[in-house]
Amino acid sequence: SAVISQKPSRDICQRGTSLTIQCQVDSQVTMMFWYRQQPGQSLTLIATANQGSEATYESGFVIDKFPISRPNLTFSTLTVSNMSPEDSSIYLCSVDTTPTSYNEQFFGPGTRLTVL
């Protein structure tokens, strides 16, 4: 298992600004992911945070808007850049600790972002 913390837990930001969300894991993990969940909706995968290389983004998400850092095996950041009200959402990081046939991801508590 893994214990994941995220900072901040919530924030209210002005449009045009940027916010960096931190994700800390209590153990070294290979795979880290960032998701977005809009109010009342399902989760959408933003990108895979790769340690030592650039993140791998899903269709519809770009590095300029959502730059990601992964400096080591326990930490990652997601920046939401040049924010607009449409970016209001919950952002979650997750990790995969199991190299076995059971592919179980552990999720952080999420960061609730409101853009005014």
Q: Closer CB to other proteins, residue 16 or residue 63?
A: 63
How large is the greatest C-alpha to C-alpha distance in the chain, in angstroms? 44
The answer to the question of residue 48 lying near other proteins (CB under 8 A) is yes
Size, binding site for other proteins by CB under 8 A: 22
73 near other proteins (CB under 8 A): no
Residues 19, 76, 94, 113: which binds other proteins (CB under 8 A)? 94
Strand, coil or helix: 7: strand
Nearer to other proteins, 35 or 87 (CB): 35
**In contact, 52 and 65? CB cutoff 8 Å:** no
CA angle, residues 31, 36, 37, in degrees to nearest 5? 130
Residues 24 and 14: their CA atoms lie apart, in Å, by 26
Does residue 106 bind other proteins (CB under 8 A)? Answer: yes
CA dihedral 80, 66, 34, 91 (to 10 degrees): 20
Considering only 45, 51, 69, 75, the residue that binds other proteins (CB under 8 A) is 45
Which residues here bind other proteins, judged by CB under 8 A? 4, 31, 33, 35, 42-45, 48, 92, 94, 96, 101-110
